[in-house]
Amino acid sequence: TLPPNGTRIVEDDHSYYVSRTYGPGEARAKGLWVDVAAADGSPAKVHGILSNTHRQASRVLLSFDFPFYGHLLRQVTVATGGFIFTGDVVHRMLTATQYVAPLMANFNPSYSRNSTVRYLDNGTVFVVQWDKVYLQGKEDMGSFTFQAALHSDGRIVFGYKEVRDISAAQHPVKAGLSDAFMVLNPSPDVPESRRRTIYEYHRVELDTSKISSMSAVEFTPLPTCLQHQSCEMCVTSELTFNCSWCHVLQRCSSGFDRYREEWLSYGCGQKSDEKTCEDLAEDDHYSAPPDSSFSPFDEDVTTSTSSLFINSLTTEDDTKLNQYAGGDGKSLILSLPKAGSPIHTGTIVGIVLAVLLIAAIILAGIYINSHPTSNAALFFIERRPHHWPAMKFRNHTNHATYSEVEPASHEKEGFVEAEQC
């Protein structure tokens, strides 16, 4: 039990990060909070779409390279549900892994006109603030105001201005960090195609019951193998990770990071620790894989909900997943289809029929325009609708799925998004 004016500072080592939790009585907690309204330099922006929608996510470009688990990121995806997605492949299970989550829950910024999702980028820190947001279906609990700050030196700060207790039994909630790597595997359903499988290799979980108003959590990054740029520095590293050097890739790695598939494809994990840097440079054991155009990520791949494959996952909400451990004790999260799969005969036939149908419609339109008094033209004119209904996105499931949106100028009382993300 803390005295009335006491403080609470808790420090934990998470291998990749050291977290320090500052209680409401600690001055450091107040100092870590970024006042986005009064920030110097670039003014804070209200994201018009995210501030008016539910279960949506939008990509935002950073003005600096942000180190996340040793990887430099220049783009993130901000979600309405109180977290930032850091992965390259956007899919509907954004809550599974690869996130920075100060308080991930089913928030609905569209509930109130006062609820907004703001962001600030001044060149050294990127801040996202969920301001006065409410839980979907639990609006009577009151609003939440919190933020996540990504600093250019790799530090991550969670600031909590106004939060309330969320019972896990009433609503799925989690907070912390997570990262994963992707591996291409043959699809058992379609042998000639491949799919991307996401493996979570590390997670930091915060106890959400200990998150309180006016508190803060600061994550300081620890050195990783990826920071070593030479063989000598890599093999003499005293890090807790088992770093090894791959001469072909000119990379130092423990084998568990976002480049794992490339690391295994070039046989980098098969080297002996007893070999010197000179031996590695002269060793011709390494050879390029059959696909010389290999890249660990296809950044242009985006999967829609309809094309997502999920293996043996039962979930009440995307924040709760049934995971199973692999050989290295890592968790298999979900699978995504590989772009560029062979086109089947049915697909080709469908494309041909679609082209023929479009051609028929165009020819019919030309004929009607050329003969406005013909029986066909009069038939369509008499039966034309007064207005065409607008197409809208509808979520037919109870899962916390997210759809990616493109930034646009959307107004909310008192706020206007000045420019695109």
* Of 167, 149, 186, 185, nearest in space to 44 by CA: 149
For residue 269, what are its two tokens?
A: 């994990």
Quote the pLDDT of residue 365: 78
Q: What are the residues whose beta carbons fall under 8 Å from the beta carbon of 408, sequence distance 6 or more?
A: 48, 49, 417, 420
pLDDT at 160 over 60: yes
Looking at per-residue pLDDT, the higher value among 7 and 251 belongs to 251
Q: Write out pLDDT tens, residues 203-212.
A: 999 999 889 9
For residue 195, the tally of other CB atoms under 10 A from its CB is 22
Give the model's pLDDT for residue 106: 93
pLDDT above 90 for 222: yes
Q: DSSP class of residue 171?
A: S
Exposure class string for 87-111: b at 16+ Cβ within 10 A, else e: bbbbbbbbbbbbbbbbbbbbbbbbb
State yes or no: pLDDT of 95 exceeds 80.
yes
Confidence of residue 116 (pLDDT cuts 50, 70, 90): very high
d(CA 79, CA 336): 20
Q: Which residue has the higher pLDDT, 319 or 110?
A: 110
Residue 207, pLDDT score: 92
Mean pLDDT score across all residues of the chain: 76
Distance from C-alpha of 183 to C-alpha of 192, rounded to nearest angstrom: 16
Most confident of 118-132, 266-280, 288-302, 380-394: 118-132
> Of 54-58, 126-130, 207-211, 269-273, where does mean pLDDT reach its minimum?
269-273
- Structure tokens of 105? 């829950």
Share of the chain above pLDDT 90, in %: 47
pLDDT, average across residues 141-158: 97
